[in-house]
Amino acid sequence: MSTKNQRIKATLKDTKERRKHMVCRVYTVKLDRSHLNQDSLTHLNRLFLEAKWLYNYCVGHPNVFSIDDTITAVPMKVKDRFELRQLRHLPAQVRQSIIKRTQQNIRGLARLKAKGHKIGWLKFKSYVKSTPLKQYGNTYKLINSKYLQLQKMPQKLRVNGLEQLPSNCEYANATLLHQNGEYYIAITTYTPRESRPVVVAPVKSIGIDFGVKNQLSLSNGIRIRYKIPVTRRIKQLCKQFSRKQYRSKNWWKTLYKLLKAYAKTTNIKRDIRNKLVHYLYTNFQVVCYQNENLGAWQRLWGRRMLSTSLGGIIRMLEIKVHTPVEIDRFFPSTKTCSRCGHQRPMSLAERTYACHHCGLVIDRDYNSSCVLEHEGRRLLGRGPTEVTPVETNTSTLMLEYLNQIAYVEASMVAETGSLTALA
């Protein structure tokens, strides 16, 4: 091995070791199309087109691991013959990244197959949404707080959102994105990890009951409702889109408008999801919830489920929370009394749980959340919880925070007129 390659490998090893002790964050910035000339727009469109050619060539190759990463032209099938397409706008490192990413996808499928999973295969793409930018300073480079330079790009690009990048960060790779007719760059950064004092606090737990009428019902007596329905603009654009000629210019323009309208509602739901989950995992160490059959809910209440993001909330709880406790789907949380544990049948029309054994009368969803919290603590080997004045004050602060989130309506169960067991 040459001395130069040894130095490069040693530098990469030191960089990996240093970044293990740093915080990795990804910031997405947007390219300003109003400052792009026609040559730059053509270059960006051609960049994603050539990325699609190269990816499809890798997928159709009999042995993708034998492809030369210095390839400059790929054959493309046009009707009944093949044409050789030149890769003039893709830099060498971008070509290497696309080939390597395809190889990693195949290795991932092979690992899943070895574990007994049923897998499919990589499919050809009609368009590519992302292009990797492997190395900062080579494939892309920040000029100042407003401009960025891409390799082989004829002009520097004006970018909105660079001010959000921290001043002490270390730049790594990035990804050029093409979404809804707009161009974005997702920049990966590493910042030094801040040392925080270790505070020993009692373990707090909470139970969550998911539902269609009340999206979240918490065991501290708070119910959360929000709904982001399909907007009138989306309905109008769908009507216009159905009348356009397939793949015409107006068809593409209407498609981009429709995707932007859908992306707006998706971003609203994502914002609500992130804020709810952030508050839960920063204030509660143990979160107990049930493994709900959301697929069946979707078949029964399609539109009402479309306006929420319950699946995303459950997935983020599994990742973010310190100790997530997922309770079995068939556990009778709705039928069980949270005070004595007696079970009785319940129909969907009954919104109040009345125990015939101990006489408890309580809101249906609130009772389920309390039962889930008791069951989760039992599975962890902890005792039942008791409501204290400090926790009641915490619930009030939580209620104020939740009502500040746009489109979210949070209230105590007692405020809705239902009978509760808070007293």
> Are residues 183 and 218 part of one domain?
no
* φ and ψ at residue 222, rounded to 5 degrees: -105, 135
In a domain, 361, yes or no: yes
Q: Which residue has the tokens 């997935």?
A: 315
Q: Specify the DSSP element, H or E, that contains 13.
A: helix 3-19
Across 185-214, average pLDDT: 81
Least confident of 50-59, 102-111, 198-207, 338-347: 198-207
Averaged pLDDT of the chain: 88
Q: Residue 330: pLDDT band by 50, 70, 90 thresholds?
A: very high
Write down the pLDDT at residue 422. Answer: 40
Write down the pLDDT at residue 85. Answer: 93
Across 316-328, average pLDDT: 92
Write down the pLDDT at residue 225. Answer: 94
Q: Residue 384: pLDDT band by 50, 70, 90 thresholds?
A: low
> Are residues 290 and 141 part of one domain?
no
Domain final position from 192, 223, 242: 192
Write down the pLDDT at residue 386. Answer: 53
The pTM of this model reads 0.81
Of 278, 232, 223, 218, which Cα lies nearest the Cα of 408?
Answer: 223
Write down the pLDDT at residue 181. Answer: 87
Across 287-312, average pLDDT: 89
> Are residues 135 and 32 part of one domain?
yes
In a domain, 13, yes or no: no
Q: What range does the domain containing 40 cover?
A: 20-192
Specify which residues 191 forms β-bridges with: 23
Write down the pLDDT at residue 306. Answer: 84
In a domain, 421, yes or no: no
Write down the pLDDT at residue 17. Answer: 79
> Are residues 215 and 186 part of one domain?
no
Across 302-308, average pLDDT: 84
- Better-scored residue on pLDDT, 224 or 10: 224
Across 91-119, average pLDDT: 94
d(CA 199, CA 24): 24
In a domain, 150, yes or no: yes
> Are residues 230 and 146 part of one domain?
no
| Two tokens, residue 158 | 């004006």
d(CA 371, CA 219): 8
| Two tokens, residue 135 | 């190395």
In a domain, 348, yes or no: yes
> Are residues 329 and 281 part of one domain?
yes
Write down the pLDDT at residue 95. Answer: 95
Per-residue pLDDT tens digits for 5-49: 777 677 777 777 788 788 899 999 999 999 999 999 999 999 999
> Are residues 213 and 185 part of one domain?
no
Of 141, 270, 191, 273, which Cα lies nearest the Cα of 25?
Answer: 191
For the cut 50, the answer to whether the pLDDT of residue 417 exceeds it is: no
For the cut 70, the answer to whether the pLDDT of residue 380 exceeds it is: yes
Across 284-289, average pLDDT: 93
Residues above pLDDT 70, as percent of the chain: 92
* φ and ψ at residue 61, rounded to 5 degrees: -75, 140
Write down the pLDDT at residue 421. Answer: 43
- Better-scored residue on pLDDT, 160 or 69: 160
| Two tokens, residue 74 | 């790929």
- Better-scored residue on pLDDT, 385 or 343: 343
Of 334, 320, 251, which Cα lies nearest the Cα of 284?
Answer: 320
Domain final position from 135, 165, 192: 192
Q: Residue 187: pLDDT band by 50, 70, 90 thresholds?
A: very high
What is the SS3 assignment for 353-381?
Answer: EECCCCCCEEEHHHHHHHHHHHHHHHHCC
Write down the pLDDT at residue 21. Answer: 81
For the cut 70, the answer to whether the pLDDT of residue 420 exceeds it is: no
Domain final position from 143, 159, 192: 192
d(CA 401, CA 275): 10
Per-residue pLDDT tens digits for 236-280: 999 999 999 998 999 999 999 999 999 999 999 999 999 999 999
Residue 116: which region, alpha, beta or left (left: phi > 0; alpha: psi -120 to 50)? left
Q: How many folded domains does the chain comprise?
A: 2
CA–centroid distance for 185 within its chain: 17
